[in-house]
Structure 1
């Protein structure tokens, strides 16, 4: 009996863009957890390595919405910045929780896939705006902590390569 095969290659651009979007979402969550942990460390005195890891683990288990509230309380973001963070949260929630359920019909045609791809890219732009806002905050806190950025980057790269 011959099995039916379905060519999914037309969906590859969607899958690639969604994969990148998931990575963008993870980066926001990591940035926020790291920023809040650094703020705790700087305000409460040096955390031990175990306490630092514990804080990151605890924060990493929280929802992104809760993390947004946490950072909003600890960092003096402007109202506009808070709006951009909320926009990123909405984009993240849509992509992660609803995109495939609500847009599956678009994936059936070339025109629909193009529209879906544009929507994913628009949502990613909101995520990257938030990441761009969080990046300098994180870098400033790393410098305040006395961590050498080049060494920090090198250690991170080594972890990803391992």
Structure 2
């Protein structure tokens, strides 16, 4: 039976997955726009800063829309990211409200933890996909610049 502290910890871990996903999308968007504007050839720190500030102010939904405008995403990626957006919105805009008074009982907290597990899995998986895409894009940019790419060894 989950305690309130365990519930709050799981909520925090799920929120972390959301923020990591958002950060990867922002990095991907910055990379795509940088390629589009040739910043890998000639740096433009003022424009890059302006874009980064815009990315930092963006909602997840806006980030996804901006990304779709400059990167071709197949149906599977589009669905994965759209599903993660729904999970994020449910987490931050209705999780406690939808569970109402369940927090008051052991069984209710267990149900809330189970719901958070589902949300976390959705968001964590989207983050992993976005992270792999960002790693590939970074490798591509480094190769364009002629920077040696060394494999990461565990």
Class of the TM-score when normalised by the shorter of the 2 chains: 0.7 to 0.9
**1:25-104 equivalent positions in 2, closer than 5 A:** 25-46=18-39, 47-104=43-100
Q: C-alpha offsets along residues 44-77 of structure 1, whole Å, 9 cap, x if unaligned? A: 1114334323212101211111111112232222
Runs of 4+ in 1 over 4 A off after TM superposition: 147-150
RMSD: 1.9
- Residues 1:149 and 1:136: Cα distance change in structure 2 (over 3 Å): farther
1:137 corresponds to which of 104, 110, 133: 133
1:18 corresponds to which of 8, 11, 24: 11
| SS in structure 1 at match of 2:82 | helix
The CA distance in 1 between the partners of 2:36 and 2:108, in whole Å, is: 51
Normalising by structure 2, what TM-score? 0.84
Mapped pair 1:122 → 2:118: yes
Deviates more, 1:108-117 or 1:44-53: 44-53
Gaps of 5+ in 2: none
- Residues 1:79 and 1:15: Cα distance change in structure 2 (over 3 Å): same
2:33, 2:70 within 8 Å by CA — same for their partners in 1? no
The CA distance in 2 between the partners of 1:136 and 1:52, in whole Å, is: 22
Number of aligned residue pairs: give it. Answer: 142
Gaps of 5+ in 1: 1-8, 151-162
Q: Measure how far apart 1:30 and its partner are.
A: 1.1
Normalising by structure 1, what TM-score? 0.80
| SS in structure 1 at match of 2:3 | helix
Higher relative contact order (CA 8 A, sep 6+): 2
Q: Measure how far apart 1:149 and its partner are.
A: 7.5
- Residues 1:68 and 1:14: Cα distance change in structure 2 (over 3 Å): same
